[in-house]
Chain A
């Protein structure tokens, strides 16, 4: 579905006009074999624990999601009305594949699942996430994470 020319107007223009930076650098970090990696999920779906602060602004802030979170305690307050939420409402793995990740860890495909995961709200300008990302990198390393899976919505 998601090539721009497959969206009807005015959605196509809306998506095409979203801020979308380009970079001069090409960072590349290696890690150990997959079976030894510790994996964290980083979502931009505006997810957080029920009772945590809803996403209100475009400031690139994020929420912490503990690794033992359950589906019934994870909610979505992304500001956009222009994507499907009914998939997530039926099965959180559609946007936050924590059950699948836990299975891969149990089977030894990956080493382990991180103690903490994170969510941003993707309508924020990507540039506004830059400073949060530095903090986040330290938190991930502190948790022993050497693989971050970024999941959009």
Chain B
């Protein structure tokens, strides 16, 4: 991000920017930058916190009027502690969905795929309702059924088919993994009585307590055995977060 500031400014476009990783911004030293104490993925602070978003946006833009100063400048407000770096106690956010299928001993791929289908079906109603009430889904490419099909077929048979798209299978698989996580998030927060988890609570739940998380980890392992470089890159980096091993 910081580098773009250099390039654009050198071409005569005044720039300001938000900085999330202080050390990177210090090294790149762009013309203007505001360092904010927010987690990665949330450069403006917190969802639906209009006041905080506005403060961050205004502080970043006001640097355009300031004389050349230290880079990065500091955002003079605290971050949203409840959603940033404080891990939510499992007792605080308990997913209202208990999947019988997701607990117990490791199972083979067939059982995994069967449990996966059941889990997606349980969430599907809530996702449909969420879409109807909000009019928005962040799922990029796949409807739930083709998504389930693509992931299950690759898991069970190594099929590299992505119906309805001409993109390379490795790209389709990566988008499917993201869409799956989005489907789970949008579904669980739509359930009656559900509260919204912090990012960390959601991550912990998805990767440790759902069949979907186990499916993606199994698919990651299969990708590592592929000869195609893009598929191996999926296995190494692009399906499962680094912290999930």
Q: Interface of A with B (CB < 8 Å)?
A: 1-4, 6, 8, 10-11, 14-16, 18, 20-23, 25-31, 33-34, 37, 39, 42, 44, 50, 54, 56, 71-72, 75-77, 79-91, 93-95, 97, 100-101, 103-104, 109-110, 120, 122, 126-127, 129-130, 133-134, 136-138, 140-141, 145-153
Task: With A10-B243, A75-B139, A149-B61 given, name 10 new contacts (CB 8 A).
Answer: A22-B29, A27-B9, A77-B140, A89-B138, A90-B48, A100-B50, A100-B57, A138-B11, A148-B8, A151-B17
B17 adjacent to A56 (CB under 8 Å): no
Interface status of B182 (Cβ within 8 A of chain A): yes
- Pairwise interchain contact A54-B182, C-beta atoms closer than 8 A: no
Interface size of B by Cβ–Cβ distance < 8 Å? 87
State which of B62-70, B96-104, B105-113, B143-151 sits at the interface with chain A: B62-70
Q: Mask for B14-35, Cβ within 8 A of A = 1, else 0?
A: 1111111111100111110000
Q: Is the CB of A137 within 8 A of B12?
A: yes
Interface core residue of A134, A145, A147 (most chain B CB under 10 Å): A147
Whether A150 and B44, one on each chain, are in contact in the complex, defined by CB atoms closer than 8 angstroms, is no
Residues of chain B with a CB closer than 8 A to A4's CB: 21-23
In the complex, are the beta carbons of B9 and A87 less than 8 A apart?
Answer: no
Contact B41 A88 (CB under 8 A): yes
Measured in the bound complex, the distance between the Cα atoms of B44 and A104 in whole Å is 15
State the B residues within 8 Å of A (CB).
1-24, 27-31, 37-48, 50, 53-54, 57-58, 60-62, 64-65, 68, 79, 83-85, 135-141, 167-168, 171, 174-175, 177-178, 181-182, 185-186, 189, 196-197, 199, 202-203, 237-243
Whether A134 lies near B11 (C-beta < 8 A) is yes
Given the known A-B contacts A10-B242, A23-B28, A89-B138, are A101 and B57 also in contact in the complex, defined by CB atoms under 8 Å?
yes
Given the interface pairs A89-B138, A100-B54, A126-B2, the reply to whether A23 lies near B29 with Cβ below 8 Å is yes
Closest chain A CB from B132 CB (angstroms): 13
User: Which A residues are CB-close (under 8 A) to B85?
Assistant: 1, 6
Contact of B84 among A1, A8, A88, A146 (CB under 8 A): A1
